[in-house]
């Protein structure tokens, strides 16, 4: 069950009717009730529609967690824009379009994230890909890498580990570190640069 905590404006708090919505109300009635910001309307709408919406999201994203994220965003959009829907009978098709758009937004966001990450990792990959053939040299190199990593500031070690070891997305790192995604990208890029600089210094 999708659960949303939606902030209300002062106007909505004052004008919201106190009457609740019946669980047996028709979908069109629920749409009208949500447009009037009646208590319980959104929750019942979600209960009625989230299963087919989830299947739609899953068919596009092929990932259950991302599908749940898409639905969260979609229902936020529904809440914000329900007043724009002129025909309550068209709610389902309108909702599915929103879900589909949210899914494709996630795909584009992930694609940009991967492209950015690959660009940032070019130098790092170049440093790591040239593995020595001699086992002794390989051991020495691995020890150098570990030594350089240990000497990095704690914030750099944590940032690199979350991305390169735990393979977290920027969004997941943002949640773990409690910082904006833009700050995650900047911090990761700087941490990689410092790692490469320190590693090259260690080799010399």
> Are 155 and 184 contained in the same domain?
yes
> Are 117 and 68 contained in the same domain?
no
* Calpha distance 26→32 (Å, rounded): 10
One-character DSSP codes across 61-76: H--HHHHHHHHHHHHH
| Total domains present in the chain | 2
> Are 147 and 88 contained in the same domain?
no
With bands split at pLDDT 50, 70 and 90, how would you rate the model's confidence at 152? confident
Confirm whether 64 is domain-assigned. Answer: yes
Confirm whether 5 is domain-assigned. Answer: no
For residues 179-184, average pLDDT: 86
Confirm whether 4 is domain-assigned. Answer: no
pLDDT, averaged across the chain: 79
Total-model pTM? 0.55
Inform me whether the pLDDT recorded for 134 exceeds 70.
no
Give the tens place of pLDDT for each residue, 87-119. Answer: 999 999 999 999 999 998 888 877 666 555 655
Give the tens place of pLDDT for each residue, 43-53. Answer: 999 999 999 99
* Calpha distance 123→84 (Å, rounded): 49
> Are 18 and 95 contained in the same domain?
yes
Give the tens place of pLDDT for each residue, 42-78. Answer: 999 999 999 999 999 988 888 888 899 899 999 999 9
> Are 100 and 180 contained in the same domain?
no
| Domain's final residue, options 105, 139, 159 | 105
Residue with tokens 């949500």: 34
pLDDT value of residue 21: 65
> Are 52 and 120 contained in the same domain?
no
pLDDT value of residue 13: 37
> Are 20 and 93 contained in the same domain?
yes
Domain with 132, as residue range(s), is 113-203
> End-to-end distance of the chain based on CA atoms, in angstroms?
57
CATH number at residue 199: 1.10.10.10
All residues at 6 or more sequence positions from 83 whose CB lies less than 8 Å from its CB, including other chains = 35
CATH number at residue 22: 1.10.1740.10
Integer CA distances (angstroms), 138 to 13, 129, 144, 151, in order: 66, 12, 10, 20
Inform me whether the pLDDT recorded for 129 exceeds 60.
no
Give the tens place of pLDDT for each residue, 141-151. Answer: 677 777 888 88
- The H-assigned helical ranges of the chain are 10-15, 27-35, 41-61, 64-81, 91-129, 135-151, 154-160, 170-177, 181-203
């Amino acid at each position: 069950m999708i659960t949303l905590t939606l902030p209300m404006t002062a106007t909505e708090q004052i004008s919201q009717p106190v009457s609740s919505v019946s669980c047996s109300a028709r979908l069109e009635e629920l749409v009208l009730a949500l447009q009037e910001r009646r208590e319980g309307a959104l929750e019942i709408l979600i209960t009625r529609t989230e299963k087919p919406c989830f299947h739609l999201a899953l068919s596009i994203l092929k990932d259950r967690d991302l599908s749940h994220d898409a639905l969260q965003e979609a229902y936020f959009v529904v809440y914000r824009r329900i007043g724009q829907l002129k025909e309550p009978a068209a709610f389902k098709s309108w909702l599915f379009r929103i879900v589909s758009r949210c899914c494709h937004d996630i795909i584009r966001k992930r694609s940009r994230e991967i492209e950015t990450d690959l660009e940032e990792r070019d130098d790092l990959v170049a440093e790591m890909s040239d593995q020595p053939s001699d086992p002794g040299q390989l051991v020495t190199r691995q020890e150098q890498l570990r030594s350089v990593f240990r000497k990095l500031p704690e914030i750099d070690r944590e940032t690199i580990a979350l991305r390169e070891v735990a393979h977290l997305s920027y969004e997941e790192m943002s949640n773990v570190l409690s910082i904006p995604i833009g700050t995650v990208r900047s911090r990761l890029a700087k941490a990689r640069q410092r790692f490469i600089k320190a590693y090259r210094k260690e080799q010399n």
